[in-house]
Amino acid sequence: MKIQLGPSDILFPIPSALIVSGSFEKPNIITIAWIGIMGSLPPVVGISLKKSRYSLDSIRNAKEFTVNIPSADKFKEVDYCGIVSGRKRDKFIDINFTPLRSAKIDAPIIKECPFNMECVVIKEVELGEWVLFLGEIVETYVDEDKINISNKNKIDIAKVNPLVYCATVREYWELGNKLGDGFHAGKEILNKLKRENSSSVDE
């Protein structure tokens, strides 16, 4: 049995990302759960902010921001950056985070976040009281010690230990176990169907 909950912005699991805007000298952090990859060629990320947010004007004017994915042990710092406005506080100082110079834009990345992106705004879409910024991802970073050198230099998700958020339900979680690999796990079903069917099953 399914229960109808009405129109709602519930979604999980999603990132609780730290967005940095402004300059290296005067950066600001906000916490954003309204985020997602929106294109691959070129790589584009979408972030959506309420119009009342302090960061709106600096992203709109500078047309750039960084996305910083925190590890699970930083959930209190992440939540703090969602509660407190940059109008009143320097959140980098409050939570002891360190801005690092970006390679291609002015807004800095956050040292304490293991994965980071530099983004240049290519489009802005008004959605009621929210503004969606579509940012081309011009650079990404991962902490050196989160790379698995014995596995083709792949990012080691267990070491990154990314924070998970469940929106509107308002809960922070951490990851448990890896289940399988994308573009691979489904081949078991595909192969079973190929064996069972006389007709061919193509990918």
Q: Is 64 in the site for a second copy (CB under 8 A)?
A: no
Distance of alpha carbon 105 from alpha carbon 139, whole angstroms: 9
> Are β-strands 115-127 and 147-148 bridged in parallel, bridged antiparallel, or unpaired?
unpaired
Among 150, 179, 195, 198, contact with a second copy (rule: CB under 8 A): 179
Q: Which residues 90-149 are close enough to bind a second copy by CB under 8 A?
A: 94-95, 100, 103, 109, 111, 115-116, 123, 125, 127-130, 132, 134, 136-145, 147
Figure out which of the listed residues 25, 52, 83, 198 binds a second copy, where binding follows CB under 8 A.
83
Beta bridge partners, 39, equal 44
Q: 23 near 106, Cβ under 8 Å?
A: yes
Query: Binding a second copy by CB under 8 A: which of 54, 56, 60, 85?
Result: 85
Q: By CB under 8 A, which span of 21-29, 45-53, 55-63 interacts with a second copy?
A: 45-53
Contact call for residue 160 and a second copy (CB under 8 A):
yes
Provide, rounded to whole angstroms, the least separation between the CB of residue 183 and a second copy: 6
Cβ at position 40, least distance to a second copy in Å: 5
Question: Do 128 and 46 meet the contact criterion of CB atoms below 8 Å apart?
Answer: no
Query: Quick one: tokens of 62?
Result: 């500078």
Give the C-alpha separation, 145 to 158, whole Å.
12
Query: Exposed, middle or buried by CB within 10 Å (0-12, 13-18, 19+), for 117?
Result: buried
Structure tokens at 10: 């519930």
* Residue bearing tokens 């609780």: 16
In the list 89, 112, 121, 159, the residue contacting a second copy (rule: CB under 8 A) is: 89
CB of 56 to a second copy, least distance (A): 14
CA dihedral angle for residue 157, residue 171, residue 66, residue 48, rounded to 10 degrees: 130
Structure tokens at 140: 């990404």
- Count residues binding a second copy (CB under 8 A): 110
* Closest distance to a second copy from the beta carbon of 187 (Å): 7
Site for a second copy in 14-43 (CB under 8 A): 14-16, 33-43
- Note whether 195 binds a second copy by CB under 8 A: no
Assess 11 for contact with a second copy (CB under 8 A): yes
Nearer to a second copy, 59 or 109 (CB): 109
